[in-house]
């Protein structure tokens, strides 16, 4: 074939190429009845639920005038926690895994969770520390009423007392608890402004007044594997500085803390600050605060311990009185 004939053949191919492409496009977009039925049967994505946490949080640049507001409404989960929840282990059966694998809503939910993790800037929490030292909200002046209060989730981890994993729910049930949650030394220091002997002696006195009924529980959350190694390395020193009667109530949690948990109880605000929750004997969050404690928050927390212990003992006293009246 001469060069001239080759050029003409190539030119004709180029000129007819758009028509060829149009016919391919028409075939591509023509769906068979079977494909249509699959598309029709696919469930529409669910409308995202309203965020549990009620406040706008500091967002970084341009937020220098951020002022934390009072928490207002209750935070927590609608259903009571169970031991074994949020352990980080996949306990589903093979059939359940297969069912979830083809579940469209499950994929959408997982995608949103991954998007939340990827879109959150790594240094955002560090930057937000300059706004009110990381304080995202102010603790209420009063406790949440029992009938409106929501539940504190179960955390699964190791304690300073035992090397086998256990659940926070088994420790919280039946007792009035001040639960501290933190992931850094900064957060631990902020928690001490609420419950430390020197910083808030009234809380220490309230806990000492009700031995076996009121307690302090610490939850140290560390999901970074490198920091986990350092934490385990310094665990003997941690035992020394922590009173022995609190070893069984000091939890080290390395997995199972989902974005849903963080958002529902307010940990999403800033992972570097400390959080304090006053939890009643039924694992309901009756009061919550974060970052550095104000004098008003210190007073509310100490008075709240007395209030919840009295509230817990009322049914016991009334049942004991009824038993005495029946016996007499």
pLDDT value for 279: 98
At residue 302 the predicted structure's pLDDT band, cuts being 50, 70 and 90, is very high
Q: What is the mean pLDDT of the chain?
A: 78
At residue 268 the predicted structure's pLDDT band, cuts being 50, 70 and 90, is confident
Mean per-residue pLDDT, 206-232: 91
Mean per-residue pLDDT, 168-183: 97
**Which of helix, strand or coil describes residue 120?**
coil
CA 61/CA 57 separation, integer angstroms: 12
Q: Where are the beta strands (DSSP E) in 162-258?
A: 166-167, 176-182, 214-221, 250-253
What letter does residue 93 receive in the DSSP assignment? -
Give one DSSP letter per residue of 226-255, joined into a string.
Answer: HHHHHHHHTHHHHHHHS-GGGGGGEEEE-S
pLDDT value for 144: 97
pLDDT value for 128: 56
pLDDT value for 50: 42
What distance, in Å, lies between the first and last C-alpha atoms of the chain?
Answer: 121
Judge whether residue 311 has pLDDT over 90. Answer: yes
pLDDT exceeding 70 applies to what percent of the chain? 64
Cβ pair 155, 257 in contact under 8 A? yes
**Which of helix, strand or coil describes residue 202?**
helix
CA nearest 286: which of 122, 125, 172, 117?
Answer: 172
Mean per-residue pLDDT, 209-217: 97
Interval 3-45: pLDDT, tens: 555 545 544 444 444 444 444 444 443 444 443 443 444 444 4
Q: Which two tokens stand for residue 316?
A: 């016991």
pLDDT value for 122: 53
pLDDT value for 132: 56
CA 171/CA 178 separation, integer angstroms: 12
Q: What is the number of residues in the chain?
A: 328
Pick the more confident residue, 177 or 116: 177
CA 95/CA 91 separation, integer angstroms: 12
Residue 105 contacts by C-beta under 8 Å, 6 or more apart in sequence?
Answer: 43, 45, 46
Q: Which two tokens stand for residue 13?
A: 């191919």
Cβ pair 301, 178 in contact under 8 A? yes
Interval 74-120: pLDDT, tens: 999 999 999 888 776 666 667 766 777 667 776 677 676 666 655 55
Q: Tokens 């949650």 map to which residue?
A: 181
**Which of helix, strand or coil describes residue 172?**
helix
Judge whether residue 46 has pLDDT over 60. Answer: no
CA nearest 129: which of 227, 264, 269?
Answer: 269
Pick the more confident residue, 192 or 135: 192
Distances (CA, A) of 246 to 292, 305, 310, 325: 23, 18, 23, 39
Interval 115-151: pLDDT, tens: 665 555 554 555 555 555 778 899 999 999 999 999 9
Looking only at the bridges linking them, the beta strands covering 150-151 and 156-159 are unpaired
HSE of 34 in the Cβ direction (CA atoms, 13 Å)?
0
């Amino acid at each position: 074939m001469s060069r001239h004939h080759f050029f003409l053949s190539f030119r004709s191919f180029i000129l007819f190429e758009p028509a060829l492409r149009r016919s391919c496009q028409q075939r591509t977009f023509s769906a068979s009845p079977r494909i249509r039925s699959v598309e029709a049967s696919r469930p529409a994505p669910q409308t995202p639920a309203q965020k549990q946490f009620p406040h706008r949080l500091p967002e970084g640049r341009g937020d220098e005038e951020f002022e934390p507001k009072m928490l207002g409404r209750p935070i927590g989960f609608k259903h009571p926690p169970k031991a074994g929840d949020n352990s980080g282990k996949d306990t589903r059966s093979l059939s359940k895994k297969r069912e979830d694998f083809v579940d469209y809503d499950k994929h959408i939910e997982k995608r949103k969770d991954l998007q939340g993790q990827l879109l959150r800037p790594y240094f955002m929490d560090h930057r937000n520390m300059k706004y009110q030292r990381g304080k995202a909200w102010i603790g209420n002046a009063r406790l949440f009423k029992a009938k409106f209060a929501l539940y504190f989730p179960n955390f699964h981890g190791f304690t300073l007392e035992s090397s086998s994993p256990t659940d926070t729910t088994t420790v919280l049930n039946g007792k009035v608890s001040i639960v501290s949650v933190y992931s850094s030394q900064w957060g631990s220091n902020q928690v001490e402004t609420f419950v430390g002997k020197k910083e808030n002696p009234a809380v220490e006195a309230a806990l000492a007044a009700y031995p076996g009924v009121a307690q302090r529980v610490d939850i140290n959350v560390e999901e970074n594997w490198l920091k986990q190694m350092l934490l385990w390395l310094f665990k003997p020193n941690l035992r020394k500085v922590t009173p022995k009667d609190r070893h069984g109530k000091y939890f080290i949690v390395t997995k199972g803390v989902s974005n849903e948990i963080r958002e529902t109880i307010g940990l999403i605000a800033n992972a570097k600050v400390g959080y304090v929750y006053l939890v009643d004997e039924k694992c309901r969050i009756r009061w919550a605060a974060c970052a550095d404690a104000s004098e008003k928050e210190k007073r509310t927390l100490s008075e709240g311990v007395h209030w919840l212990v009295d509230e817990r003992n009322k049914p016991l006293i009334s049942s004991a009185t009824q038993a005495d009246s029946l016996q007499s």
